[in-house]
Structures are given as structure tokens and as C-alpha cells.
Chains A and B, each alone.
Chain A
Amino acid sequence: MGVFNSSTIEFESNMSVISIFFTALFYISLIVFLVGMARKIYQFWITPAPLKIPTAPTSLTQTGVVMRMMREVALFESLFKSNKWIWLFGWLFHAGLLLVLIRHMRYFWPGDLPEIFLLTQPFKYAAFAMVLGLFGLMLRRIFVERIRYISAPSDYLMLIMLLIIGISGAVMTFTSNHTDVIMVKEFASGLVSFNWANLPTEVHFLVHIFLVFVLMAIFPISKLLHVPGIFFSPTRNQVDDARSKRHISSWALKQEQEHATRLEQALGKDE
């Protein structure tokens, strides 16, 4: 820690404008992400599902629902049933992204890495899966007429951003255009431990993290909301037990209590 402390003193006087900009951008994006996601998840949470609408093949038990959700999240079960190409590209991208993200933890981990991180070393190759998946999705979006029809500019933009992030990352890892990894680590772990440090200024690195921060900020206001969305999807997360358990929303119950007699009296009466 002594080493880190002395460097702290050093960079506080030495921080470049560009490092200050990216440091600030990180925190702003992070706050936008956290606040935005918290608000959105809260909104999903408090909005009641007034009716039981699970879609077949339904689960008759809570355990079944948990299993179904896990298959959906980890394997994209419904997408697999639906379209093998979208499934393949979508799954490659997501699985690749997950592994790459796990591997990125090394940059944010303050100090020496525990040995377990050695296991994540091969995850760097997942970048290829990620980029391949993204290319596949992009090609489908451009060339499959039906998907082109439903695409807005933001749908292409999202893929382009992710592609640039993936490719710039791969370039740094697999070509001679390496960036100063030690510096990256000091910058990234500094963000976590508030020991701010300068960052390398190679353009591809700056583009890489700029887009990552932007993506973080637009997460709660874009279609990336499918991430929390799937867990709240009533057709997937409800137990098919409507006959044995009464399911009622707060607003319907209130309405029922307020109008109970009136409705009963009105029944069967002609207008």
C-alpha cells in the first residue's frame, strides 16, 4: 500500500486534463447507471401484475419457475426455440461479454491479484466470440428484410458501439498495439479506491473506455433494460397455479372492496 500512497501524492499534482475528464465521466456514468437502474427496477417492482399470464410451457411450482428463468437467462431457451441464428449470435455475444467482463475485474482489483485470477486469463479469447456474435447480429439487422424493417437508428448504433468496444479491446490484447496495462490498472483500481491516477492516452484505449462509460449511462434509458426486464416478465416469472391460489393486485383488491356492493346490485339489471 505504501507504493500506492506515494503514487497518490504524485498524481494529484500531475493529473492530466484527459484523465480528469475520464475520471469524472466514469463517476457521472456510474451514478446515472445506478440511479437510473434503481428507479427502473423500483418501477418494475411496484407495478402490479393484476392477472396470471404465464405462457406455456408453464411451471406449476415455484421451483419450476426458478429453473425456467435460469434456463432463459443462461441458455436463452425461448430464443433457441425461435431462431437458431439469432440464438447463436446472441448467445456468443452475451457469453463472450460475460467472460470478458469477469476478466476485466483484474484491472479494478486494488493491489496484487489473488491466484484465482489466473483462471480467468484464457477468458481473453472470449472477445472473439463477442465480436463474432455482434457481427452476426449486425449482418442480420442489415440483410434480413424483416429485421431491417423493425430497426431504428439506435438499434444499429448500439451494435456499432459494442463492436467498437469489442474490437478496440481485442486490438489492445492481441495485436502489438498494447496499451500500458500497469497504468490501466492504476487508473481503474484508482476509480474504485478513490486513488485517482492518470490513464494511458492511446486513442483506441480512450475510445474503448469512453464508449463503455457511455453505454453504462444509457443503460437505464435504452433497450438494455431487457436485462432487468426478463426477471420481471410475468409470462416467464409466474407460477401456473391460478386455480389453487388467489392472485390479486393491490389496485384490484381496493377497487373490489370499494365497489363490491354496487357491482352486485348492478348485476343483471338492464341499462
Chain B
Amino acid sequence: MAKEFDIPVLPTYLEIPELKEGIMDGEGPFKSAQEFQKPLGFPGEKIDNWQQVAIDKMGELKSKYRSVQVFLDSCVKCGACTDKCHYFLGSSDPKNMPVARQDLFRSVYRRHFTFAGKYFPKLVGAKELDDDMLDDWYNYFHQCSQCRRCSVFCPYGIDTAEISMAAREVLDAVGIGQKYCNQILGKALTIGNNLGLPEPALRDTLLDLEEEIEEETGVAIKYPLDQKGAEILLITPSADFFAEPHIDGLIGYGKVFHQDGVSWTLSSYASEGANFGMFIGSYDIMRKAALRIRKAALDLEVSRVMVGECGHAWRVAYSFWNTLSGVGAGATDEFGQKLQDQLDHRYPQPQHIIEYTHDLIQRGKLTFDKSANDDRTVTFHDSCNVARATNMGGIPGGQFILPRDVIKAVCNNYVDMERSTIKESTFCCGGGGGLLTDDLMEIRTKGAIPRMQALKAVERDNGVNTLTAICAICKSQFSKVLPKFDFDPYMIVSVHQLVSEAIIMDKPQTDTDDATSAETAET
């Protein structure tokens, strides 16, 4: 059960806490049940010979992933990462220091796979994989949001996310899955999105949205679903269809597409940008989710694939799609090759919605009334997966530059948070990596402290009242944790919500006929 805990007081300055051993000990998030495990190919419950299976799986993973093998061998325990994890800074539990988290896995690796650990376990800190260790794995590898901040600061680039993914994969292999991720994956792989929204429901939602926007703006903006032959297929997190503040971002995308006059569509078969296969470390499941998107792109005969505001979705799309399903270049199988022939390679494939909007702004295709956002002083939260694992615009640091450019193009008051908490050093929102579930609220709240502290500083010093992000998980997490730290929960918005508020739409049937020509051309 999710236990009661006190909401910590936000410090004026972020300090490295003294260690409080065992403070985040616990049973971890709710465990997955048979009904969610089986469809993913995992045992329904903890198997009898779990120890042997786990060790074998570790051996398999370290032979399949160079990252795992090299990272397990290379750590010198220098301590550089020990004060870099938001979960450690927020919770004081030493097992949330990146190296200590890795050591839960590394100590077992040493015991079973290294000479020193086999013959001198005490000397090198090698440990047996017993029940206690397995419990620690489940608990503490679900207190890692795989945000990779530690990897930026490690002299060898050791990435705890890789170890955390491997550990979760081992846990799944012995039948101990996390309910939140595995239940969601079941929906994503059968229905097509994490919410389990079937096609009719999705269609209704989009129709409602169209009506709402037309009522409010007088412009008939369409949200096409399964429209064959559209130019762009938009893959966006399903949260965008459903809840505040996400849906205001979706409204923004629609307005930008409308102004550009491009034809676009969503897919009911692949109506999810998020790919939780990454969180549980499964290459195969991640690939399955990616293949749904490839199939949708092929079926709908689109020439461009675009990704909405979602952090890890953009990581999977930008860094992994080409590997998993051959979206951009170099595919060897017939489906991948067919898709590559079909896509328009004048555009990057896949392209981020921020890249698209940025490009339109650069080319002067969009006009804004920036004063529409004058009631806001805005700051931008770099979402970890976008910031540390992707690029935008094909220029160094483009993933930091483009979103800020877009924000500055649509509002007058922009302030960055402290340098050590943004860009490649950004602090995770506290809810990434499969942790966005109520049963992990304590670690989510504590892990948000470093970000909240930096936000508090710009609120105090610069009057910041709006926090923007381009990640569905960040937005959901902030909505939940902001009020715990005396912020307005509605201060978190999509970047495309700001775009949406400032964009000047060409309205049909205005004073002159000329103004309608753009609309006519589109329809």
C-alpha cells in the first residue's frame, strides 16, 4: 500500500543531504498480476527457480548490451555521481545514489561473473542474489526514472538507466513485474494506446474537440483520424486526447497544422507516442510498439511521421525507431524499405512537432500576437529524455534551442531556471521512467524537490508563473506535485498551449475575400 508520508519543506538552496539509510525501504510499487504478465510473455508470478533464471538472464543481458557489460566493469566508485540523482537529493536514502543503485546489480554481477567476486566476495563487495536483494532491486530500481543525469556527470559515462532497465528486465523474467507499466503495455499493444481508448471513443473525443475549438475561435480546425493519404501522421502521447493540460497542447498542434495548410492525421491503430517498453528494458516489446507505428504509417500512406510533445516517446522515435523498425534509413526488411520509399526524405524522419513549428516560424508562415501571453512569465523545464538522449534540428544542442525559440516567438516574458538544473543537467520532474503511478507518490514527491526548488527561485526572483514542458509525463507529474509545494497546479502548460494562445488564425468569411484563400486552398 502507498504509505503516508510528510510533504518535505522546500529548501531555499539545494543542499546535499546527510545519508538516512533505509528511509525509502519498502515493497516498491504494486506488482503486476498474471493477467498483465502473460500477454507480455512474462511468468505470472515469482517462479520457483527464480535465482537461477535471474542469473542466467543477467548473463544474457550483459552479452547483448555492451552498455551493461562495460558499465558493470568500469565503475571506480569515485563518488562523482553521488549527489546528482534527484531521488537521492530529495529522499536522502543512500541507495538512491546512482552508484549505490547500480551496486545492487553490480554486487551480484561480481559474485557470479567475476574472479574477484567469486573468490573474494567480501573484499570487493560482491553479494548473493537472495530474497532481500531481490526486494531491494524491485524497490530501488523503481525509484529510478532513467533520466540519465548521472550519466552526464560520470567520468566514464556510466548510465544508471541502462542498469535499471536491465534489472527490470531480469525482474520481469522471474515473474516480478510492475503493475503500472505492464498493464499499460497490454493496452498499448492491443488497443493501440496507453489509456485503452478504442477507435470510437477516440473519434468522439476528437469530434468534441473540433466543436469546442470552432465555438471558441470560429475556425473549423480538424482532427482527422485514420485519414488515408494524409501528408503527416502525428504520433502523440494519448494523454493529449484526454486531460488538462495536455489537450491544450493538442489544440495548439491542430492550429499550427491548420495555418500551414498541411493535411495530417492521427491513427487509431497507433494512437500512442509513449513506449513503456523502454521503461521495462525490453527491446522486443519496445519494438512491437514501434512496429504498430510503422504499420499505421504504411496503411495510411503518409509521407511524414511526426511526434508530439512526449519525452521518452521522442527518445524512442529519434534514437530507436530507425533501429527498431527502420523508419529513417537503412532498413533491410521489406516493410521497412517500403516505408522508406514512401516517406519524404526532404524532412527528417521522424520529426518533432517542435521542429515543425520552429521551421514554420523561421519561414514566417505563422503570425503571433505575443501579448496574448503577457500575463505569463514563462520558464521551460527540459524533459530528461529530450534533453539528454535526443536532438532537434540537427544542430548541436538543438533540443535546448528549438523549444526555447518557439516559446520566445510566442511570448514576451521568458526566464531560464538556474543553469545547473536545465539543459543537459536538467532535473527530472520526478515521475519519469514508469514511476507515474499513485502508489509511488512518496518518491515522486521527494524526487520533485530539486526541480521545485529551482522553480521556486525563479518564481521568487523573476515572478515566473508558468512552467512549460514538452513531455506528457512531466505535465502529469507537475500537475500532481506542484500544489504540494505551494505552486498553482495549473501553471504547467504545453509549449503548444502557448503557441495556441498567441497564434493568429486566418478566419473564414472575414472582411475581405482574400483572407479566406488559404482556407479554400486547404479544403
When chains A and B are docked, how far (Å) is the Cα of A249 from the Cα of B63? 12
Q: How far is the CA of A53 from the CA of B67 in the complex (A)?
A: 9
Residues of B within 8 A of A47 (CB): 62-66, 69-70
Q: Decide yes or no whether A232 CB sits under 8 A from chain B.
A: yes
Instruction: Assess whether B52 is interfacial by the CB under 8 Å rule.
Output: no
A201 at the interface (CB under 8 A from B): no
Q: Say whether B322 contacts A230, CB under 8 Å.
A: no
Stretch from A6-14, A119-127, A141-149, A206-214 forming part of the interface with B: A141-149
Say yes or no: B65 contacts A81, CB within 8 Å.
Answer: no
CA distance A255 to B325 in the complex (A): 12
Majority DSSP secondary structure for residues of A touching B: helix
- Residues in B36-77 with C-beta less than 8 Å from chain A: 38-39, 62-67, 69-71, 73-77
Identify A242's interface contact among B79, B190, B322, CB under 8 A. Answer: B322
How many residues on B have C-beta within 8 angstroms of the other chain's C-beta atoms?
Answer: 87
Distance in angstroms from A256 CB to nearest chain B CB is 6
Contact between B123 and A82, CB atoms less than 8 A apart: no
Nearest-neighbor residue (CB-CB) of A236 within chain B: B157
- The answer to whether A57 touches B424, judged by C-beta atoms less than 8 angstroms apart, is yes
Q: Is A246 a contact of B100 with CB atoms below 8 Å?
A: no
Contact flag A56-B152 (CB < 8 Å), given A152-B125, A243-B328: yes
B-facing residues in A102-150 (Cβ within 8 Å): 137, 140-141, 144-147, 149-150
Residues A50 and B323 in contact, CB atoms below 8 Å apart:
yes
Q: Quick one: closest A residue to B190, CB to CB?
A: A270
Is the beta-carbon distance between B288 and A233 smaller than 8 angstroms? no
B144-190, CB < 8 A from A: 148, 151-159, 162, 190
Contact of A223 among B38, B76, B155 (CB under 8 A): B76
B152 contacts A234, CB within 8 Å?
no
Expressed in whole angstroms, the Cα–Cα distance for A78 and B288 within the complex equals 35
Asked if B478 CB lies within 8 Å of chain A CBs, one says no
Task: Tell me whether A225 and B81 are in contact in the complex, defined as CB-CB below 8 angstroms, given that A56-B424, A230-B155, A233-B158 are known contacts.
Answer: no
Interface centre among A76, A154, A155, A235 (most CB of B within 10 A): A235
Q: What residues on A are CB-neighbors of B84 within 8 Å? A: 82
* Contact of A146 with B323 in the complex, beta carbons under 8 Å: no
Given A233-B157, A268-B292, verify A52-B319 contact (CB < 8 Å). Answer: yes
B81 engages A82 (CB within 8 Å): yes
Interface residues of A in 46-97 (CB under 8 A from B): 47-60, 64, 72, 76, 78-79, 81-83, 86, 90
Q: Shortest beta-carbon distance, A19 to chain B, in Å?
A: 29
For residue A254, give the distance in angstroms from its CB to the closest CB of chain B: 11
Q: Is B4 an interface residue (CB 8 A)?
A: no
A72 to B335, CA, bound (A): 41
Give chain B nearest CB distance to A139 CB in angstroms. 12
Residue of B with least CB distance to A222: B116
- What 1/0 mask marks residues of chain B from 232 to 269 whose CB sits below 8 Å from any chain A CB? 00000000000000000000000000000000000001
**Is A2 in the interface zone, CB < 8 Å from B?**
no
Within 8 A of A (CB), among B366-395: 387-389, 391, 394-395
Determine the residue in chain A with the shortest Cβ distance to B388: A56
Compute how far the CA of A82 lies from the CA of B151 in the bound complex, rounded to whole angstroms. 10
Q: A50-B65, A55-B151, A55-B157 are in contact. Are A60 and B79 (CB under 8 A)?
A: no
CA separation between A240 and B328, bound complex, in Å? 14
Instruction: Report how far A244 CA is from B395 CA in the complex, Å.
Output: 13
**Chain A 218-271 residues near chain B, CB threshold 8 A:** 218, 221-223, 225-226, 229-230, 232-236, 240, 242-249, 251-253, 255-257, 260, 263-264, 267-268, 270-271
B157 pairs with A78, CB closer than 8 A: yes
A65 to B35, CA, bound (A): 46
Give Cα distance in the complex from A270 to B196, angstroms. Answer: 13
CB pair B123 A153 closer than 8 Å: yes
Cβ distance B320 to chain A, nearest Cβ, rounded Å: 6
Cβ of A217 to closest chain B Cβ, rounded Å: 11
Indicate whether A268 sits within 8 Å of B331 (C-beta atoms), given known contacts A86-B80, A150-B97, A233-B74. no
Closest B residue by C-beta to A227: B74
For residue A44, CB closer than 8 A to chain B, the reply is: yes
Partner of B159, one of A53, A81, A232, A263: A53
A150 contacts which chain B residues (CB < 8 A)? 77, 79, 82, 94, 97, 99-100, 103
Interface pairs (8), CB distance under 8 Å: A56-B152, A83-B79, A149-B94, A229-B71, A233-B157, A243-B318, A263-B291, A271-B190
Interface residues of B (CB under 8 A from A): 16, 18-19, 38-39, 62-67, 69-71, 73-84, 94, 97, 99-100, 103, 114-116, 120, 122-125, 148, 151-159, 162, 190, 192, 269, 283-284, 287-288, 291-292, 295, 318-320, 322-323, 326, 328-333, 335, 348-350, 387-389, 391, 394-397, 399, 423-424
